[in-house]
Amino acid sequence: MTESAPAPLDAQASGGAPPRGTRAPVGEYAFAAVCAALGVYAIIGAGFIRVPPGSASVLGPRVFPYAVGVLLVAASVAVIVQVARGRRGVPDDGEDVDPDAPTDWLTVAKLVAFFLTQLVLIEWAGWPIGVAVLFAGAAWSLGAKRWWVAVLAGLGLGLVTQLVFGAWLGLSLPAGPLLDWIPIFHG
């Protein structure tokens, strides 16, 4: 018995198929460039976030944007290095998507309407109510069977984020008239 040489990495990743042609990996480089630009934007933008004087909190409002920006830039560099070495992404053949199906513009319009509604509701009704409406509306638009579960989940998500950002991070999200009287909801 003779042993054969191991298959190249691209052939192993694609299930034994031969590597793709010599087409330039423009899409991979464009993806990495956009991610790197977003990372640099997040890092620069984080520097402009105003930190209240005398803030004793270790986790200030700049920590998360800095972390996201650094991770985006690092991931972009890793993608560029791997693509330059010849390791490219393998296209997904197992997607359960019909490329010939038309776009459901009604669902898209509903989602856009709920996102725009949140812009108004954040100031008018407060963050938790705005998040609950957006979450429930998106779930309903995408075919949720039990709308009331989506409303409760959205309200819970809104209240938890209000507490985390307001009470623990010291950032102010509008509590709205229903929760304005509860001191813990103010940053």
Residue 138 within any structural domain of the chain: yes
Are residues 181 and 123 part of one domain? yes
Are residues 180 and 126 part of one domain? yes
Provide the number of structural domains found in the chain: 2
Mean pLDDT for the stretch of residues 36-43: 96
pLDDT tens string 9-37: 544 454 444 455 566 788 889 999 999 99
> Is residue 6 over pLDDT 80?
no
Residue 23 to residue 140: CA distance in whole angstroms: 42
Contacts (Cβ under 8 Å, ≥6 apart) of 6: 12
Residue 95 within any structural domain of the chain: no
Range of the domain at 72: 9-14+22-84
Are residues 172 and 122 part of one domain? yes
Backbone φ, ψ for residue 68 (5° rounding): -65, -45
Q: pTM (2 decimals)?
A: 0.53
Residue 130 within any structural domain of the chain: yes
Contacts (Cβ under 8 Å, ≥6 apart) of 66: 42, 43, 46
Instruction: Give Cα separations from 33 to 40, 77, 148, 154 (angstroms).
Output: 10, 9, 42, 34
pLDDT tens string 113-168: 999 999 899 888 888 899 999 999 999 999 998 988 999 999 999 889 888 887 77
Mean pLDDT for the stretch of residues 84-103: 75
Residue 92 within any structural domain of the chain: no
